[in-house]
Amino acid sequence: MPTLNYTTTVPVARTVGEVQDMLARHGAAAVAVRYDAGRPVGVSFVLGTPHGQRSFTLPVDVDAVHRLLIAEGKAGRLKRAGTAKHTSPEHAARVAWRVLKDWLEAQLAIIDAQMATLDQVMLPYLHVDGDITLYQVYREREQHAIEGGEPQ
């Protein structure tokens, strides 16, 4: 199955705006785009939870999507593969942001159906120590356990 949204032509700025709007409509008190070297790499937001205001960050790994598109193109799994159009870093950014938007849209549908709460769905992305997320802490502790060290 080809990579989701690999043919998108939607500009990153438009998708970022759609993501911000979805979060705001679902109760985010603040939404900010995170940048690295001038390119958007994630979105951070603040939600009211039963335990007060909490910060969350959804990352967008454009480099990972870029590597995937190149591999999928080489394997012949993308229609119109081999064109620079579908394997460029700029296109990878468009695809990565569309994938995040679609994921968020699906999660918000689950929340709207009252099958989960927003803070429950976003738990891995919860900031627990500055900009460190709960998922990052979990991964670090698991890695220490694998290596036989004591978790910090």
Q: Mind listing the pLDDT tens digit for each residue in 40-97?
A: 999 999 998 888 999 999 999 999 999 999 998 888 877 765 566 788 999 999 999 9
- pLDDT tens digit sequence for 85-133: 788 999 999 999 999 999 999 999 999 999 999 889 999 999 999 999 9
In which region does residue 54 sit, left (phi positive, over 0), alpha (psi from -120 to 50) or beta (all else)?
Answer: beta
Specify the 3-state DSSP secondary structure of 7.
coil
Residue 38, by phi and psi: left (phi above 0), alpha (psi -120 to 50) or beta? Answer: left
Residue 24 and residue 31 in contact, taking contact as beta carbons nearer than 8 Å: yes
Per-residue pLDDT tens digits for 11-36: 999 999 999 999 999 999 999 999 99
**Bigger pLDDT: 1 or 144?**
144
Query: One-letter amino acid identity for 57?
Result: T
End-to-end C-alpha distance for the chain, whole angstroms: 40
pTM for this model (two decimals): 0.90
Categorize the per-residue pLDDT at 139 as very low, low, confident or very high, splitting at 50, 70 and 90.
very high
